[in-house]
Amino acid sequence: MGEIRIEELSEIEFDVLKEISNIGTGNAATAISKMLDGKVEIEIPIIRFLNFDEISQIVGGAEKEVIGILVTLEQDIDGMMMFVLDKQSASIVVNRILGRPPEMICGELSEMENSVLTEFGNIIAGSYLSAISKLTGLVIAPNVPALSNDMAGAILSVPAIEFGKVSDRVLLIQSVFDTDNQKAEGFFILIPTLNAFDTIFRKLGLSR
């Protein structure tokens, strides 16, 4: 199988990525439930390929303030993953974990809030990496996650610069987490290199 661009994936290959996403979502629900010490339901994820400028619009516009947790990958799979939350969803997550009453986080995040959100993003990333590993037998090592609090356009420019070497489009997994009748929406962006796609599909017996 030669190098491919994301927009050249076959229907079967796209179905494989959707299955990985569905398994990852199930893993995430279990892990987050333990973290929150309560039941968390995750709606069926919306999985699609989009241009980076379209992602900015989906999360509320390039100037909307969001939280981004970026994780780079090594070993059998290289690339990066980013999990994006708007301020309202981040507030729901932080307040639920810290046992605080529902309130909107304003201004700069405290050190504790940063730590909570970083761990939350790390759990989400780990859930999807686990899904890929179980399906393929590949070893994937995530680096320490980095959290940014900025406008969506600025945060998304980091993976956009790297991802532009691969394709004009990105795989976006849009998920809604429901806990205690509060819904937090998160956007998971998977950014493997071309070689990573090739490795995943070869491991699953797909070849061109």
Is the residue at 134 inside a domain? yes
Is the residue at 1 inside a domain? no
What pLDDT is stored for residue 1 in this prediction? 43
Is the residue at 63 inside a domain? yes
d(CA 187, CA 75): 25
What pLDDT is stored for residue 107 in this prediction? 66
Is the residue at 30 inside a domain? yes
- Tokens describing residue 75: 């070993």
- Tokens describing residue 196: 């990573």
Reading the chain (208 residues) residue by residue, the pLDDT tens digits are 445 555 566 777 777 777 777 787 778 778 877 777 777 777 777 887 777 778 888 878 888 889 999 888 888 877 788 889 888 888 888 888 888 877 776 667 788 888 988 988 888 888 888 877 887 888 888 888 889 888 888 888 877 776 666 566 677 888 888 877 788 888 888 776 666 777 777 777 776 5
For the chain, the domain total comes to 1
Q: Supply the CATH number for residue 191's domain.
A: 3.40.1550.10
Domain that holds residue 156: 8-203
Look at residues 186, 179, 135 and name the one whose alpha carbon lies nearest to residue 17. Answer: 135
Contact at 8 Å (CB) between 172 and 187? yes
Greatest Cα-to-Cα distance within the chain, rounded to the nearest angstrom: 54
Task: Report the chain's terminal Cα–Cα distance, integer Å.
Answer: 5
Is the residue at 27 inside a domain? yes
Q: Name residue 190's beta-bridge partners.
A: 81, 171
Is the residue at 62 inside a domain? yes
Is the residue at 183 inside a domain? yes
